[in-house]
Structure 1
């Protein structure tokens, strides 16, 4: 999955926007702060494990999980 680059859109298996790539950090994808969620999560960077990536299509990273499930699997730093 070395094709994952900064500013790529991350979408769930259902096509729902999950976030935007800030950078790849080991086996995790760091999301930009603007995709940091709401409430107590707002302003924190979130990470998605690269094991959830199904494929890279052009400028989009498609996950194997639907958007709503992928968001629950995010890890905060």
Structure 2
């Protein structure tokens, strides 16, 4: 499991295909990442993704699924 302390505000979030999903606004509790609504892919709405979707974190947050799949499943 990825330490959530590695996830920082304004980090890019990418799918397993390397495609952009969104930008971290902040951690919402211990189990959800809130994405910025100002990101062009967000459609002027905040979206939430569960930390269970995170594969690993380096300079970006990498998900276990493609960007397209994440966007169809985010809240």
Q: TM-score, normalised by structure 2?
A: 0.86
- Structure 2 residue runs without a partner (length 5+): none
1:14 aligns with 17
Give the 4+ runs in structure 1 shifted more than 2 A.
35-38
Of Structure 1 and Structure 2, which has the larger fraction of its residues in strand? 1
Aligned length: 71
User: RMSD across aligned C-alpha pairs, in angstroms?
Assistant: 1.5
1:35 aligns with 39
- Structure 1 residue runs without a partner (length 5+): none
Q: TM-score, normalised by structure 1?
A: 0.84
Aligned-pair distance for 1:71? 0.7
2:68 aligns with 68
Q: Deviations over 1:12-69 (max 9, x none)?
A: 000000000000002110001123747xxx3221111110000001x20000001100
